[in-house]
Amino acid sequence: MKILSIESSCDETAAAVVEDGKAVLSSVVASQIEIHRRFGGVVPEIASRNHTLAVGPVVDEALARAGLTLDGVDAIAVTYGAGLLGALLVGVSYAKALAYAANKPLYAVSHIKGHIAANYIAHDEVKPPYVCLLVSGGHSALLRVDGYDDFSLLGTTRDDAAGEAFDKVARVLGLPYPGGPEIEKLAATFSGELSESCYKLPKPVVKGTTDFSFSGLKTAVINCLNNAKNRGETPDRAQLAAVFQETAVDGLVENAVAVMESTGLKTLTVAGGVSANSRLRQKLKEGAAGKFSVFYPPLSLCTDNAEMIGAAAYYMSVSGAPTADLTLDASANVPLT
Ligand code: KG4
Ligand code: ZN
């Protein structure tokens, strides 16, 4: 089953053709990062306008690279939420028009299910049941995956998402958008001992639960910078970035390990933009040693792309999920499960 998929939930306009949830026949991503960088974050209205310009050429390019015309695909899939409403509407409208014009079934895919499905493309070994740690700009969650279209929530953030915290902390440290990779680079320049750092930050976990809370960690970084300013000192930005990253990662690892222990499952997948973070990968490897296996998507599938949407749609179809009709609407929020 060849699925043409479209993703436009944030600042990437992406299209792909994926066969049977696995074989990527083509994948095209038009990133708007450079456009939004000067504003320090994604400007929703500008994102929508650029999606409108890009979606046609990106879809055409995905079909051309797969050596197909619209007639040759079996279904269309599109991210309908969660994300920026105006941005999502561009992909949803375009996908509905394609499905109507070519008389193809249409799958409405949750962005979250897309991120989870990214690991199916990369790893044959990943099969339910397992646990997924989803860490993106919009979500931080631990999900139990009992079937390809069967998820339950084991932990979530009470406030900010992990990626959002990286982006906000990067901003106050004067780093460009998106902040995650910039924090990682700046943190790598700190060569001292983290345990001896003068910066002490709160771990982003909610005691007695497997939920996360990133807003206190973010505020603590802002307070460190303000205190330094009030004392007329120059903050050690690299050290602060390193301590922030370490603390954020420690919280994610702590809850992930707790959930693996309580469920007794042996496979953990990590998905979403923050899964690109190498310190997170290293510390999860240490936390998992001898207890469970950890899988990550390749870097190109960690951040937003349409391959994962095509893969998720395939698993929706084999699980018997209903197709969408032309009343499909975009949705800024969709439930995690
Ligand atoms: O999954 P994604 O592309 O979009 C959403 O669905 O939100 O995730 C983007 C998020 C941003 O917050 C970005 O700063 C973060 O992922 N990110 C990282 C890294 N690369 C991207 N965070 C930490 N370390 C990274 N290397
Ligand atoms: Zn995403």
> Could you report the per-residue pLDDT of 247-290, keeping only the tens digit for each?
999 999 999 999 999 999 999 999 999 999 999 999 999 999 99
Cα(180) to centroid(ligand 2), Å: 13
| Pocket residue to mutate for ligand 1, from 37, 136, 184, most atoms within 8 A of Cβ | 136
Specify the residue for token string 């990779």: 181
CA triple 316-320-321, angle to 5 deg: 55
Ligand 2: distance of its center to the CA of 302 in Å?
8
pLDDT tens per residue, range 98-153: 999 999 999 999 999 999 999 999 999 999 999 999 999 999 999 999 999 999 99
Four-point Cα dihedral 12, 212, 261, 270, nearest 10: 10
Q: What pLDDT sits at residue 335?
A: 86
**Global confidence as pTM:** 0.95
Query: What is residue 337's predicted lDDT score, i.e. its pLDDT?
Result: 79
Atom of ligand 1 nearest to the CA of 278: 26
Residue 170 alpha carbon, nearest atom of ligand 1:
14
Question: To the nearest whole number, what is the mean pLDDT of the chain?
Answer: 97
Q: How far apart are CA 8 and CA 12, in angstroms?
A: 6
Residues with Cβ within 6 A of ligand 1? Answer: 10, 136-138, 163, 166-167, 178-181, 184, 272-274, 276-277, 303-304
For the four alpha carbons of 120, 122, 126 and 130, in that order, the dihedral sign comes to negative
Pocket test for ligand 1, best of 42, 166, 182, 307 (most atoms within 8 A of CB): 166
The yes-or-no verdict on residue 336 having pLDDT over 90 is no
User: How far is it, in rounded angstroms, from Cα 143 to Cα 70?
Assistant: 35
pLDDT digits (tens, 9 = 90+) for 207-263: 999 999 999 999 999 999 999 999 999 999 999 999 999 999 999 999 999 999 999
Ligand 1 atom closest to 167 (CA):
14
Tell how far CA 269 is from the center of its chain: 13
Identify the nearest ligand to the CA of 139 by its number.
1
Reduced to 3 states, what is the DSSP secondary structure of residue 97?
Answer: helix
Ligand in closest contact with the CA of 161: 1
Cα 296 to Cα 87, 137, 319, distances in angstroms: 27, 17, 24
Q: Whose CA is nearest to atom 19 of ligand 1?
A: 180
Residue in 295, 30, 53, 37 with CA at minimum distance from that of residue 182: 37
Angstrom distances, CA of residue 120 to CA of 66, 105, 148, 269, 270: 20, 22, 10, 10, 12
Task: Collect all residues with Cβ–Cβ distance below 8 Å to 207 and sequence separation of at least 6.
Answer: none
How many whole angstroms separate alpha carbon 308 and alpha carbon 279? 24
Residue with CA closest to ligand 1 atom 22: 180
Distance 335 CA to ligand 2 centre (A): 15
Ligand nearest to the CA of 271: 1
C-alpha distances in Å from residue 145, one per residue of 2, 64, 110, 142, 279: 24, 35, 15, 10, 25
Query: What's the rounded Cα separation, in Å, for the pair 327 and 316?
Result: 19
